[in-house]
Amino acid sequence: MSPTAIFTPDTARFFRDLGRNNNKPWMDANRDRYKSAVVEPFRRCLDALAPAIRKLNPQFVTSGRVGDNFSRINRDIRFAKDKTPYRPHMYLHFTDPEGEAGQLYLGMAADSLTCGFRIYGSEKISPLVQLGRARGAENSRWLARQERRLRKKFDSYWYTSEKGEWTKHVGWPVNPEDWKKLQGWVVRRKFPVAAASSPKLAADAARIFRDLYPLYEFTGSAKWKP
């Protein structure tokens, strides 16, 4: 784990300025700043967390490629109502290469830092549909234990979809009925953005990932056992 701060206030400041100037000319003029304030510290964060991630699961991808570990700053605006070309945030995430599995992630925006677990999936081939839904319906006691273990430290919310409209539900999906149409689940801790500059960030994130890894296995891994 890194003994020094990985991020500085420059990262949040960049996202804040991008939110106010979300256009290509501004981004082109600030490309070097983007690399130094966002790309380089996120890569240092990956390097700091990779050993702990591999201990959790040797199959986790740590290639450092966009898509594999990093979210894209560019937005696909073809079908979006919001036509701004860039996302004023960045995510570092870890998953295995099989399908549409869940992720352990750390995300940063202008005003917040979040760290946790998330999974989305509606397609029949997704791990959430193939494995997670049935487990959720059949293991309510296990889920209740996880809620008791984690609820004081983490926020939880989940999604269902009716006629193409997503609905957010705050809380823990512990009832079997919750899982029949569950489309996504997020369990996370939210920090003030100043926490990103703490020398303990990587160690704190690694502990969060250890706490939440059982949820990752439960929702999408064939190796999960009660």
**For the chain, the helix, strand and coil percentages under 3-state DSSP, each to the nearest 5:** 40, 25, 35
Question: What does the longest C-alpha to C-alpha distance in the chain come to?
Answer: 54
- Residue 1 domain-assigned? no
The residue range of the domain holding 19 is 9-220
Looking at residue 112, which CATH number applies to its domain?
A: 3.30.930
Residue 43 domain-assigned (yes or no): yes
Number of domains in the chain: 1
- Each of the 226 residues of the chain gets a pLDDT tens digit; together they read 556 889 999 999 999 999 999 999 999 999 999 999 999 999 999 999 999 999 999 999 999 999 899 999 998 877 777 789 999 999 999 998 765 589 999 999 999 999 999 999 867 768 888 888 999 999 999 999 999 999 999 999 999 987 778 899 999 999 999 998 899 999 999 999 999 999 999 999 999 999 999 999 999 888 888 8
The answer to whether position 3 is within a domain reads no
The answer to whether residue 34 is domain-embedded is yes
